[in-house]
Amino acid sequence: MTDYKEGVVLAFDKPLKWTSFQLVSKVRNMLCQHLHEKKLKVGHAGTLDPLATGVLLICTGKATKTIETLQAGTKEYVATLQLGATTASFDLEKPIDATYPTEHITRTLIEETLPKFIGHIEQIPPVFSAVKVDGKRAYDLARKGKEVELKPKSLVIDEIELLDFSPETMQLQLRIVCSKGTYIRALARDIGESLHSGAHLTALRRTRIGDYRVERCLTLEQFEKTI
């Protein structure tokens, strides 16, 4: 029998439009009801944006002490980018704020551009992110219309694989293997700029954290049946 109070690591496939905190809260409530407990320590490793799906690790009990180690694991994503347009959030949370030419963009140009982002790079996080500025979350300040200036962060991108490109729609699908702290939305922005155009993320799925793969993740429905 699984000892949730002692501590386990649960790998979930986070649903679209759920925040990571909402999923943690739901799992905690389900477990408290199952265990007839009023309180249970539950936390997550590696936040996913509401518009992203895929691997989210949720730890219970003493396993919450492993969160930092789990967060440090290599991440893998499948990202869909729309070239030729940008948004303030670099994804679909905000509307398109500018459009750019795409006639010059070819598969060859994309294949020549992507290797520039492999290895140790400096990346400025999105203003609509959980990065703290003077003790406050950047997205809270940005949503209040305040100016937010974030410093570049050093990170590592191990692989970028071009999975698909449609010259008709200018949609680009990539597989990305990267270190902790990488914002795929910011990578989309930077790839758009490097292509002398613009880009934003239209879909994002985290397929792996460390050894945890999305194929073996639980849905909430499956977890409910398990307990």
H or E stretch including 35? helix 20-35
Active-site position among 3, 13, 49, 164 = 49
Residue position matching structure tokens 């790079």: 121
CB contact at 8 A, 66 and 210: no
Task: Specify the amino acid at residue 55.
Answer: V
Distance CA 79, CA 96 (A): 18
CB contact at 8 A, 35 and 76: no
H or E stretch including 141? helix 138-143
What pairing do the DSSP bridges indicate for beta strands 75-83 and 52-60?
unpaired
Residue position matching structure tokens 């109070």: 5
Catalytic residue check, 49:
yes
Active-site annotation, residues: 49
